[in-house]
Amino acid sequence: MIDFSQNYFALFGLEPRFQIDLAHLEPGYRALQAQVHPDKFSNASDAERRLSMQCSTHVNEAYQTLKQPINRARYLLSLHDIDTQEETNTAMPADFLMEQMEWREGIGEATDAADPAALDQLAGKLRHATHALHAELAQQLDQQQDYVGAAGAVRKLRFLDKLREEINDALEALET
């Protein structure tokens, strides 16, 4: 079936890098699922069906991890024994924390004013900031091998994800 000892990148025939060809990931995923999907083993023995289910689950997990940039970065860091410490290390540069406060103020003001256009504008700025952090991660992981710096960038992305959720929640609340 599949080799469970392979890392996720090897499973899909990809180099272990932050910047991957997503157009190559999708067909690789479909090809692997075509080989291991449990439906293909419906008439097989119990052991073969269980193995098929494990393989299919492993392929799904690998695909979901590599498809999302923040998950891919976390996984790459884990391959280098780096813990992002997202739950325990909330220390951030002062300028980043100030920016977070400004974002939250903007979200609050737009929500209080029931201004979806302002929230959409904030969402656009947030997308830009997220793309910039993705570019920074690509540099840190793929060129510099700065894994400690990359772990900090992943923690920043987690903050930005929370802001994105707040904006989406605020937009949904305004629609109802």
CATH 3.30.1330.50 assigned to domain 94-175? The reply is no
Place of tokens 């510099």: 144
pTM of full prediction above 0.75:
yes
Within the chain, which residue ranges are assigned CATH 1.10.287.110?
8-67
Within the chain, which residue ranges are assigned CATH 1.20.1280.20?
94-175
- The residue among 28, 31, 29, 53 whose CA lies nearest residue 42 is 53
pLDDT at res. 41: 85
With bands split at pLDDT 50, 70 and 90, how would you rate the model's confidence at 1?
confident
Q: What are the tens digits of pLDDT across the range 77-104?
A: 999 999 998 888 878 889 999 999 999 9
Which stretches of 68-145 are DSSP H helices?
69-79, 94-112, 116-138
Instruction: Classify domain 8-67 at the CATH topology level.
Output: Helix Hairpins (1.10.287)
Contact indicator for 1, 35 with CB cutoff of 8 Å: yes
